[in-house]
Amino acid sequence: MPSPGSYIEQHRDRLVQELLQLLQLPSVSADPAFSQDVLETAGAVAQSLVHAGCENVEVCDTSGYPIVYGEKILDPQLPTVLVYGHYDVQPPDPLELWDSPPFEPVIRETETHPEGAIFARGACDDKGQFYMHVKAVEYMIRENELPCNVKFMIEGEEEVGSVSLGEFVKANREKLANDIILISDTGMIAKDVPSITTGLRGLSYAEVTVTGANRDLHSGLYGGAVANPINVLAKMIASLHDADNHITIPGFYDRVQELSRKERDLMAEAPFDLEAYKKALDIDAVYGEKGYVTNERNAIRPTLDVNGIWGGYTGEGAKTVIPSKAHAKISMRLVPHQDWQEIMQLFREHFERIAPPGVRVSVKPHHGGEPYVTPIDHIGYQAASKAFEATFGKTPVPQRGGGSIPILALFERELKSKIILMGFGLDSDAIHSPNEHFGVWNYLKGIETIPYFYKYFTELSAGK
C-alpha cells in the first residue's frame, strides 16, 4: 500500500491552505444572521467533493440547511463506507476572548502543538475533521488507492440538533445504503495515545422560565413580600442535586446502565493524569458525583447542568428591581439506556412540582438525542484499530466519550449499520470555546490514517 504519507508531504501546503479557506466562512447554524454564510459553506463543501473526484455531488435541500451528498462508487459488489460530518459551527461568542478573529484562521504554535495549530471556529469541530476525509478520499481517488465505495453526507445543523437530518435519512435509505458509517467528530486521548470512541452520551435540553408578578417591581416597595423569580429559580436549580451530587429527579436513574466492576477497571486503564487535568483547567479540585472518578463522571454517568441563566438587571451600575421573570437553559447528558423524551418528561414534571406558590413555571423542550455505543468486536472497529496501528505504531484505546452526536442512534436504526468514531481532536483544542484550534499534525495524521481504514475494512469485509 499506498503511502498516503508521501502524498501528504508533497501536497502539505495546499491541504492546509484549503482548510483555512473553508474556515473563513462563518457557518453558524444557531444564528439566522449567518444563514447566507451557512448556505455558501454548503456550496464550498460540494465543490471540495467534486475536486476530490466524487460523483453525483448534490446540495440537497431540506426544510433547514442543506445536506451535502457525494459519492464514488467503484463497484456495487464492494463494501461502501458512508462518511458523516457537519459543516456548521458553534457561535463564536464571546468574541473578546479570542486572541485572533474566529473566522480569520491563523496558525500558531502551542505547547501541545509545536508543529502549529489552526485557530478558528470549526477548526476541530467539525470542519477540520470532516475535511480530513475529503482529502483522504482525494488522495485515494487520484492515486488509484480507493479499495471500495464511498459516500459523503455532510450536514449543516448538527450544532442545533440535526433537525432536518432524520427526515433526510428516512427519505433516502437506498441512496445512503452502506456497510459502515465513519465519523471524525470526536477526539483522542493524546497525540501519542490514539483512542477510538466507543460511545457517546445522549442529551435532553430544556429551557425553563419562572414568572412571578406581572411586571418588574421596585425591590424596596415589594421586596420581601412577593416571590423573586431569580431567587426561586436559583433555589429550584440547587435542589436538583443532593449533597453527593446525585440528581434528585425521581426516576432519573431508573434505566441507567450500571457498569460492572470489571468494565470500570478496564476503563481505569486508559491513561489519565488528574494533576495535569486540573492544571490545564486552573482548578484546585475536580467536582462531581460521589462514588465515581473523573473518567466515569464525564462518560458513563448522566449529568444535569445549567448552561445559561438570566433575568433582571445586568447592565452597568445598580438598579433596584424584583424581576418578573427568570430563565435558565438546562441540559442533561444521558447514558444507555435512558430515553431523552422520557427524561424530558420526568424533568418537566419534577420542575413543575417543586415550584413554590407565588410563581408559575414553564418548561420548553429544545432538542434531544439518544446515547450510542459501538461494539468493539465489529470489523469496523478492527479496521479502525489496525489503521491507527499503521500510522501511530500503537493499538488505540477504546474509550467512551462524554459529548453527544444525537443523530447516531437514528443512523443505526434507519440504515442498519454500525458507526465508527475515529476522532483526531484533543480535549485541549477548545471546541465550542474561544480560541478553538486543531493541530496541523493531527489534521495531517488524520488524512494519513483514514486510507488505511478503507484498506482494512475492505479486506476484513472480504473475510481476509
- If one asks whether residue 399 binds ligand BES (CB under 6 A), the answer comes out as no
In the complex, the smallest distance separating the C-beta of residue 187 from ligand BES, rounded to whole angstroms, is 5
Q: Which option in ligand BES, Mn ion, none does residue 138 bind, with CB closer than 5 to 8 A by kind? A: none
In the complex, the smallest distance separating the C-beta of residue 5 from ligand BES, rounded to whole angstroms, is 27
Exactly one of 105, 202, 323, 406 binds ligand BES (CB under 6 A); that residue is 406
With 0-12 CB in 10 A as exposed, 13-18 as middle and 19+ as buried, what is 244? exposed
Of the two residues 147 and 194, which places its CB atom closer to ligand BES in the complex?
A: 194
Exactly one of 18, 125, 155, 157 binds Mn ion (CB under 5 A); that residue is 125
Exactly one of 155, 185, 436, 448 binds ligand BES (CB under 6 A); that residue is 185
Question: Which residue has the CB atom at the shortest distance from ligand BES?
Answer: 403
- If one asks whether residue 26 binds ligand BES (CB under 6 A), the answer comes out as no
- If one asks whether residue 126 binds ligand BES (CB under 6 A), the answer comes out as yes
Phi, psi of 270 (to 5 degrees): -65, 135
Of the two residues 300 and 431, which places its CB atom closer to ligand BES in the complex?
A: 431
In the complex, the smallest distance separating the C-beta of residue 378 from ligand BES, rounded to whole angstroms, is 19
Query: Which span sits near Mn ion by CB under 5 A: 28-36, 121-129, 269-277, 334-342?
Result: 121-129
Of the two residues 200 and 387, which places its CB atom closer to ligand BES in the complex?
A: 200
Cβ–Cβ under 8 Å, residues 44 and 22: yes
Counting every residue written for the chain, the total comes to: 464
**Cis, bond preceding 51 (omega within 30 deg of 0):** no
Q: Give the interface size with ligand BES as a residue count (CB under 6 A).
A: 17
Of the two residues 185 and 370, which places its CB atom closer to Mn ion in the complex?
A: 185
Of the two residues 60 and 163, which places its CB atom closer to ligand BES in the complex?
A: 163
* E strand or H helix at 452: helix 440-461
Alpha-carbon gap, residue 48 to 128, rounded angstroms: 13
Exactly one of 230, 322, 335, 405 binds ligand BES (CB under 6 A); that residue is 405
What is the distance of C-alpha 346 from the center of its chain?
25
- If one asks whether residue 429 binds ligand BES (CB under 6 A), the answer comes out as no
400 closest CA partner among 429, 371, 363: 371
Q: Write the binding mask 175 to 214 for Mn ion: x where contact by CB under 5 A, - elsewhere.
A: ----------x-----------------------------
Going from the C-alpha of 458 to that of each of 145, 177, 288, 382, 439, the distances in angstroms are 12, 16, 43, 11, 29
Residue 318, all three cell numbers: 445598580
Going from the C-alpha of 193 to that of each of 104, 258, 291, the distances in angstroms are 31, 27, 27
In the complex, the smallest distance separating the C-beta of residue 175 from ligand BES, rounded to whole angstroms, is 24
66-67-72-78 Cα dihedral, nearest 10 degrees:
-150
In the complex, the smallest distance separating the C-beta of residue 392 from Mn ion, rounded to whole angstroms, is 22
Report, in this order, helix, strand and coil percent for the chain, each rounded to 5.
Answer: 35, 25, 45
Q: Write the binding mask 348 to 377 for ligand BES: x where contact by CB under 6 A, - elsewhere.
A: -------------------x----------
43 closest CA partner among 31, 28, 25, 16: 25
Q: Which residues partner with 202 through β-bridges? A: 334
- If one asks whether residue 155 binds ligand BES (CB under 6 A), the answer comes out as no
Alpha-carbon gap, residue 259 to 266, rounded angstroms: 11
Per DSSP, the residues of 138-187 read HHHHHTT---SEEEEEEES-GGGT-TTHHHHHHHTTTTT--SEEEE--SB
Exactly one of 52, 57, 176, 200 binds ligand BES (CB under 6 A); that residue is 200
Q: Which option in Mn ion, ligand BES, none does residue 187 bind, with CB closer than 5 to 8 A by kind? A: ligand BES
- If one asks whether residue 126 binds Mn ion (CB under 5 A), the answer comes out as yes
Q: Write the binding mask 81 to 120 for Mn ion: x where contact by CB under 5 A, - elsewhere.
A: ----------------------------------------
Of the two residues 125 and 179, which places its CB atom closer to Mn ion in the complex?
A: 125
For residue 377, which amino acid is it?
D
Alpha-carbon gap, residue 394 to 397, rounded angstroms: 9
User: Which residues have CB under 8 Å from 116's CB, separation 6+?
Assistant: 107, 108, 109, 439, 440
Report the chain's C-alpha Rg in angstroms. Answer: 23
In the complex, the smallest distance separating the C-beta of residue 203 from ligand BES, rounded to whole angstroms, is 6
- If one asks whether residue 159 binds ligand BES (CB under 6 A), the answer comes out as yes
Query: Which span sits near ligand BES by CB under 6 A: 230-238, 314-322, 377-385, 403-411?
Result: 403-411
Of the two residues 131 and 456, which places its CB atom closer to Mn ion in the complex?
A: 131
User: Which residues have CB under 8 Å from 7's CB, separation 6+?
Assistant: 139, 142, 143
Site residues for ligand BES per CB under 6 A: 125-126, 158-159, 161, 185-187, 200, 203, 367, 401, 403-406, 431
Site residues for Mn ion per CB under 5 A: 125-126, 185
